[in-house]
Amino acid sequence: MTETVQSVPQVLLDPFAAGPVLTPLEAAALAAALTPCTRTALKEAGFGDTLVDSMVERGLLAGAPAEAGLWHRHGWGRPRALLHAAATHRARRAAETPTDHATTTTPVLGPVSGVLDGRAAFDRALARRSVRRFDRRPMPAPVLYTVLAATVPLLEAWPHLRLYAAVQDVEGIERGVHTHRAGALDLRSAGLDDARLRACAHQYWVLGTGAVLFLTVSWPALEAAYGRGPDAYTRVLGECGRVAHTAVLAAARAGAGTWMTPALDEETAAGLCGLDTRVEEALYMLKTGMPRNTTTMEDMR
């Protein structure tokens, strides 16, 4: 019998509303076990061994690979933020969806519902897979400006976030690192070192035509907006994801391809963008360009 258990990520991220049917007690147990939790702690919280054993058998809970309390001991609250967002989304959809009470029973709202709750929405998401190979021809400037313009409202709403464009090969735009402000590009440093650019993510497909966008955070501005502590950091990571998501959708509509990652070498990216790391740091990068005319799984995943 496993002494320490935690919620199974696949349950929390199931993209369909018709996922596992949970009782309120099971939903509460999943919330309690987001952070690896001992059976003793669960029992003290009102979740007995019989319930825990049943949830393990159903694949809702599994043996934890980490010590109990690991996430929150380091001040990271992302699992609970994910749970809260999913619960809020499902509750909002339920309130907006008419229900025929004569023939339909409204489901009990639990905290484990994915944002993609329909097959069509899921298929549309799959159609926007990351592109790893780009056309050898230069990217049209209007396409890049379309992608950048889509991010403007969010960057204006979150002034602690900034965007830099490492332009590689875009028609009519000088190769180099540009500062993006209000939809316009200002050249910050001419020329690009491909080896240095590749070292930002240690992935060769960053090279080629198009541009690489870097999202950075001003720490003093972030502190002024949200205060100190892990919640501010968690919040800005979510904001970076939303800006990148918005850019990806704009690129898809314009016929461009993208891939994005928060897994970057912050020091190398800061040097490339010319950041003062005492006050500003790179958190996210997004490559965009015109996709090569291919649909093989080697090129898209």
The DSSP code sequence of 163-193 is EEEEEEEBTTB-SEEEEEETTEEEEEEE---
Assess if residue 263 is contained within a domain. yes
Q: How many domains does the chain have?
A: 2
Q: How many CB atoms lie within 10 A of CB 229?
A: 11
Q: What share of the chain is helix, strand, coil (3-state, %, to 5)?
A: 40, 20, 40
Q: Would you state the torsion angle of the CA atoms of residues 226, 229, 233, 236, taken in this order, to the nearest 10 degrees?
A: -10
Assess if residue 223 is contained within a domain. yes
* Domain residue limits at 49: 4-117
The pLDDT, as a whole number, for residue 36 is 77
Q: What string of pLDDT tens digits covers the 301 residues of the chain?
A: 668 888 776 555 443 444 566 788 888 888 788 777 889 999 999 999 999 999 988 888 888 765 545 444 444 444 555 555 555 655 665 665 555 444 444 444 443 344 445 556 556 666 666 777 888 889 999 999 999 999 999 999 999 999 999 999 999 999 999 999 888 999 999 988 888 888 888 877 788 888 999 999 999 999 999 887 767 888 898 899 999 989 998 998 888 888 888 888 888 999 999 999 889 999 999 999 998 874 433 343 4
101 lies in the same domain as 158: no
Q: pTM here? A: 0.59
Q: What is the CATH number of the domain that holds 188?
A: 3.40.109.10
Assess if residue 150 is contained within a domain. yes
The pLDDT, as a whole number, for residue 111 is 38
The pLDDT, as a whole number, for residue 114 is 44
113 lies in the same domain as 146: no
155 lies in the same domain as 196: yes
258 lies in the same domain as 145: yes
49 lies in the same domain as 149: no
